[in-house]
Each structure stands twice: as C-alpha cells, then as structure tokens.
Amino acid sequence: MIEAYRPALDEMDFRERLLADEATMAYNAAWGGAIAFPREKWAGWYRRWLEVPETERYYRYLRDAETGRFVGEIAYRFEGEKGIYICNVIVMAQYRGRGYGTRGIALLCKAAKANGVAALWDDIAADNPSVKLFLENGFSVAYRDESAVMVRKVL
C-alpha cells in the first residue's frame, strides 16, 4: 500500500536525496539531470509549495505504508501562462517497477479532482519511458514534437 504523505520541513532531506540521485533523475537528462536541493533552499521552497492553497500547488511524498519508507513524490502546479495544471510523479530508481508510479498517479489525480482541478498535464521528454506509464493510467497525448510529449488527463 502506498500513500500520499505531507512532509514536514525537516523531512526535506528525502527530496534532496531524490533529486540528487543520478539514476532516478536520468529521465531528466534533456533538462539537466540531477538537481541540487541544498538545505538553505528548503524553507523558501516549502513555503511556495506546501503553505499555499492546493488549488495553486500540491506536493506530497509517496510513502510505503507498510515500511514507512519514502519512495517518491507527486505534485502539481498551476501554470498561469498556459492556464493548465502541470503534474509531476517521480519514483526513486531503486523502487521502480513495483507499481508505485501507478498508485502515485491515482493519488495525484484524486487529490487534484478533490481540489477542483479539471485536468492534469505533463510535459515529458520524448525519450522518457514514463510516457507509457501515463498513457496506461488514463492520460492521452495532447501533442508531441522531437523533444517532448505533452500528455493530458481530464479528471
């Protein structure tokens, strides 16, 4: 069983490890790969993501309910210029292939719908195999070019 977990500020060390993990962030190679998230950035990021209305931004860790272990993250944000909600699902490389991504997408869609979001979108690098995961979970391709695939799911 996987659950959405609202982390406390002092639990941002998992996000720091998640984003710094080369294997996990390999999907992001087209946009820079691993990302630094040092402790001095935690408080500002936390305020922007977890202390705002969930109609603007939503962020949760994915936590294995049996072990209490964090295995990934789910999020969405309103992108005002485009008038859409962009989502994010990341599972640590070592935990992939266990259904956490599918469960994470389901939890994210449920939360978004409960918060009045009509549709979720994701901009995925064209060579990222996670496109298949999104398509298997009710998303469809809105458009595609040589660098990216934009997927969408009406909630």
Q: CATH number for the domain including 82? A: 3.40.630.30
Question: Residue 29 has what pLDDT?
Answer: 65
> Rounded to an integer, what distance in angstroms lies between the CA atom of residue 25 and that of residue 23?
6
Q: What are residue 140's DSSP bridge partners?
A: 152
pTM strictly above 0.85:
yes
Lowest mean pLDDT among 23-27, 117-121, 141-145: 23-27
Tens of pLDDT, residue by residue over 2-53, are 999 999 999 999 999 999 988 888 876 666 678 889 999 999 999 999 999 9
The C-alpha atoms of residue 44 and residue 155 are separated, in whole angstroms, by 30
As for how many domains the chain has, the answer is 1
How far apart, in whole angstroms, are the C-alpha atoms of residue 21 and residue 23? 6
Query: Domain of 92?
Result: 2-154
Say if residues 58 and 76 touch (Cβ distance below 8 Å).
yes
CB atoms within 10 A of CB 103: 21
Nearest to 120 by CA among 73, 148, 88: 88
User: Shortest CA distance to 111 belongs to which of 79, 76, 66?
Assistant: 76
How many Å is the Cα radius of gyration of the chain?
15
Q: How far is the C-alpha of 91 from the C-alpha of 70, rounded, in Å?
A: 9
Q: What is the pLDDT of residues 71-94, one digit of tens each?
A: 999 999 999 999 999 999 999 999
